Structure 1
Amino acid sequence: MKQFIHLVKEEFRRIFSNDVVMAIFFGAPILYGLMFGFVYQQAKVLDLPIVIIDQDNSPASDMVIDAFNDNEVLLVSDIRPLAGNIAQEMPYMGYAAVITIPSNFEADLLQKRYPEIRVDLNMGNILNANTASVNIQSVLLTLNAGIEISGLQRQGLAPEVAAKSYEPFKINFNKLYNSTGNYVSFMLPGLLGGIMQQVIFLAMALVFARDFEDGYFSKLIDVNRWSIYHVAVKSTPFLLFIPVMWLIVSRFIPFFNIDADIYNPAMFILVALLSIASMMIGMLFSVMIPNQLKATELLMVISTPAFVLSGFTWPTMAMPDAIAHIAQYIPLTQFLSGFRKVAVYGGGIDAIMPEIKWLFMIALVCFIAILIALQIKIKLKLKKQA
């Protein structure tokens, strides 16, 4: 035990002497967490610039323009009588949409000729386009209903009867789970999980690879020749560091006013299993690839697309089956699936049993592979020394 404690202390010293590990493990989660949190702090897109081509210049077209001015999401950047070179301007000026009110718009309304308002959406940014589309439709449908009801009233119908004649039934939307559409509540928890997985990957990728490069591995096997002993020595510092980093990262949730229940037993299990599974994958790469640079580069191949493949933003059911199947073996996929069940939907341990089983299986398989691969390296090293 004294020898084990001595090696653990030496491991702490080697970790703190490695500037790369220190920067990645302690700096990245805090820096990226704050940066991403402030990026999405506004919570939803506001003031999307639009251009209105008013070819009618009538009280009716003015009413349409006023309605768009009253919408908080849309910003009327310009009103002009002719389109001109608007198609060339749109990508450079960043207009989300161009709305064209045709000539004789008011006259056609009065004569029931159903004039058409044209909306050209800039689909270069899907999020902006979808947000603009929803709000433009909301404004135009509200105007459409108001004009129709006013017409029925002019025909002599009472306001209540006119409203019912236009709207034979009512629609009531009840938004559940992030009802305000807060984007920071949607994105930040997933990004934090991705950051922590990547940080653990990269930190663990260096633990054995560095020993192979600088010859420290020979000293280790002189102390003990069993792979499980050395895995325990290498894991101990990180088993102490990682909970501290999770605690720091978790404080970003209340800091950015995200409504998510994260301090409960189910979340503790998810976080622990994600950490262990990520440690085992990182350590396996470190054992199999005795080069720090190559080990980290190959782990980046896994961690870089992990967030996209996780199904957190784009559903796995919409992915090709082969890709969706591969994504199941990335710890982040299981963690984010369980996170949503617990933090957003209020589920407990029973709700995340599939994710628990997957994470446990990933960690166990990688752990066994580490023991076998490391034991082979120890035997080969001893044979070479002999």
Structure 2
Amino acid sequence: MTAPDPHSAPPSLLHAWLAALAAVARDKGVLLLLIGAPVLYGFFYPWFYADEVLTHVPVAVVDLDHTSLSRQITRFADADPRIAVRMVTGSERDAQEALWRGEIEGYAVIPAQLKRNVVRGENAVVSIEANGAYALLNKAVQFGFAEAVGTASAGIEIRKLQASGQSALQARASRAPVQLQTVALFNPTEGYGSFVVPAVALLILQQTLLMGAALLAGTWVEAGQHRASATTWLGRLLALSTLGWASGLFYFGWIFVLHDYPRGGNPLGALALLACYVPAVAAMGSLLGLWFGNRERALQVLLWTTLPIAFVAGFSWPVEALPQPLQWLRWLLPSTSGVQASLRLNQLGAPVSAALPYLCALVALCAVCTAAVLAKARPVNAAAR
């Protein structure tokens, strides 16, 4: 295939857009990345978090007290939906070995003379050990036992107040004079899927479009078609952005609804985000493809960047815990601004002004990458002048 004649008239923007879409349709690898992968990930990735909340996590109770109070705590723990008591033992060593074998995910130690200390009004501590290697399991064990012990403690306090002369209604009011009801506003189920998938969706959009654009640009370099007019490249970027916008609408308008994730807080703001986010990713992908200059190399390098990018995006790992250079370099990635803006606009329902710095960062990144693409891929006769 020969390079285009530099003296020929440049095609119109519409012609360049249609030609780029036709090139995507002919390239099965790019077509799979830009259309197949987002659809596949949209159904496949949320499936792992379909249950949202962990329930009936196996635990053990180490009862060293052997009183009615310790048995009551055990019954409350077994009734809690978060945990399921699989073993009651008088030896902490047995519980530790069961935890190491993976038979349970945690245990509570009810100390000796617990009831005696409670009756005397002395401090009584029930220690809880959980599998810290898995945050969700650890949380379920800690909360389950805390609720069981808290329920037993509340009953004891109410009985003490009744013994001092208060009625049952007065005792309940004295024990909790201010009623507290905790409601998670933007994640009502407090599920892990509702927390992680809306943020990861922006990463999926970025990585699939980034690799697809780099792959296509690398193909144009290999075929000698990368040096073209500004109009041609703007049409190519518009074509890539069109497919990216379709994927973004697929996630925001269907996948989030299908899995009932928090969404729709600011629909117009979410559309504004996609309008800024997708062209920035398309321009960066094209620039990387031109830089690599090879179809396969672009895919080989970008394929392994997803996990590091997820860690620096700011939703799964505290930004303050990152080294200072990474805290600055992460803003060179569209996902850093995109994820933060999406969580504010699509999940929290914040006004556009709250996400304006992130949108401006995306526009600036898009402008810089687009200018770099046009400079690197300008026709030979223009480069010679």
Task: Please report the TM-score for the alignment, with normalisation by the length of structure 2.
Answer: 0.86
CA contact (8 A) 2:277 2:338 kept: yes
SS at match of 1:116: coil
Partner Cα separation in structure 2 for residue 95 and residue 311 of structure 1? 32
Partner Cα separation in structure 1 for residue 246 and residue 114 of structure 2? 64
SS at match of 2:92: coil
Q: Which moved more, 1:40-49 or 1:114-123?
A: 114-123
SS at match of 1:277: helix
- Aligned residue pair count: 375
Partner Cα separation in structure 2 for residue 356 and residue 138 of structure 1? 43
Give yes or no for the alignment of 1:370 onto 2:379.
Answer: no
CA contact (8 A) 2:198 2:343 kept: no
- Amino acid in the other structure paired with 2:33: I
Match of 1:67 in 2: 76
The unaligned stretches of length 5 or more in structure 1 are none
Cα offset, 1:167, TM superposition: 4.6
SS at match of 2:317: coil
Match of 1:356 in 2: 359
Give yes or no for the alignment of 1:52 onto 2:61.
Answer: yes
Match of 1:38 in 2: 47
SS at match of 1:75: strand
Give yes or no for the alignment of 1:101 onto 2:103.
Answer: no
Match of 1:201 in 2: 210
Among 260, 280, 285, the residue aligned to 1:282: 285
Among 299, 302, 306, the residue aligned to 1:299: 302
- Amino acid in the other structure paired with 2:344: K
Distance 1:160 1:323, change over 3 A: same
Cα offset, 1:258, TM superposition: 2.0
- Amino acid in the other structure paired with 2:239: P
Cα offset, 1:211, TM superposition: 2.3
Which structure has the higher relative contact order (CA within 8 Å, separation 6+)? 2
Distance 1:122 1:8, change over 3 A: closer
Partner Cα separation in structure 2 for residue 320 and residue 94 of structure 1? 38
CA contact (8 A) 2:108 2:145 kept: no
Cα offset, 1:275, TM superposition: 0.5
Match of 1:17 in 2: 26
- Amino acid in the other structure paired with 2:90: P
SS at match of 1:206: helix
Partner Cα separation in structure 1 for residue 173 and residue 207 of structure 2? 57
CA contact (8 A) 1:285 1:299 kept: no
CA contact (8 A) 1:48 1:132 kept: yes
Partner Cα separation in structure 2 for residue 342 and residue 316 of structure 1? 20
SS at match of 1:46: coil
Partner Cα separation in structure 1 for residue 376 and residue 100 of structure 2? 54
SS at match of 2:101: helix
Cα offset, 1:108, TM superposition: 4.1
Partner Cα separation in structure 2 for residue 18 and residue 31 of structure 1? 18
Q: How does 1:1-386 map to 2 (within 5 A)?
A: 3=11, 10-93=19-102, 95-163=104-172, 166-167=175-176, 171-213=180-222, 215-217=223-225, 226=229, 228-250=230-252, 251-261=254-264, 264-300=267-303, 302-375=305-378, 378=380
Partner Cα separation in structure 1 for residue 120 and residue 134 of structure 2? 38
Distance 1:210 1:269, change over 3 A: same
Partner Cα separation in structure 1 for residue 59 and residue 65 of structure 2? 18
Cα offset, 1:50, TM superposition: 1.0
CA contact (8 A) 1:149 1:162 kept: yes
Cα offset, 1:34, TM superposition: 1.3
SS at match of 1:50: strand
Partner Cα separation in structure 2 for residue 262 and residue 111 of structure 1? 53
Partner Cα separation in structure 2 for residue 280 and residue 262 of structure 1? 28
Partner Cα separation in structure 1 for residue 335 and residue 173 of structure 2? 51
Q: CA RMSD in A?
A: 2.9
Q: Deviations over 1:257-286 (max 9, x none)?
A: 123116732211101211100001100011
The structure 1 segments of at least 4 consecutive aligned residues displaced by more than 6 Å after TM superposition are: 380-383
- Amino acid in the other structure paired with 1:53: V
Partner Cα separation in structure 2 for residue 276 and residue 94 of structure 1? 50
- Amino acid in the other structure paired with 2:100: P
Distance 1:78 1:246, change over 3 A: same
Distance 1:333 1:155, change over 3 A: same
Cα offset, 1:88, TM superposition: 3.1
CA contact (8 A) 2:60 2:108 kept: yes
- Amino acid in the other structure paired with 1:91: W
Partner Cα separation in structure 1 for residue 122 and residue 10 of structure 2? 92
Partner Cα separation in structure 2 for residue 367 and residue 299 of structure 1? 19
Task: Please report the TM-score for the alignment, with normalisation by the length of structure 1.
Answer: 0.86
The unaligned stretches of length 5 or more in structure 2 are 1-8
SS at match of 1:305: helix
SS at match of 1:120: strand
Cα offset, 1:366, TM superposition: 0.7
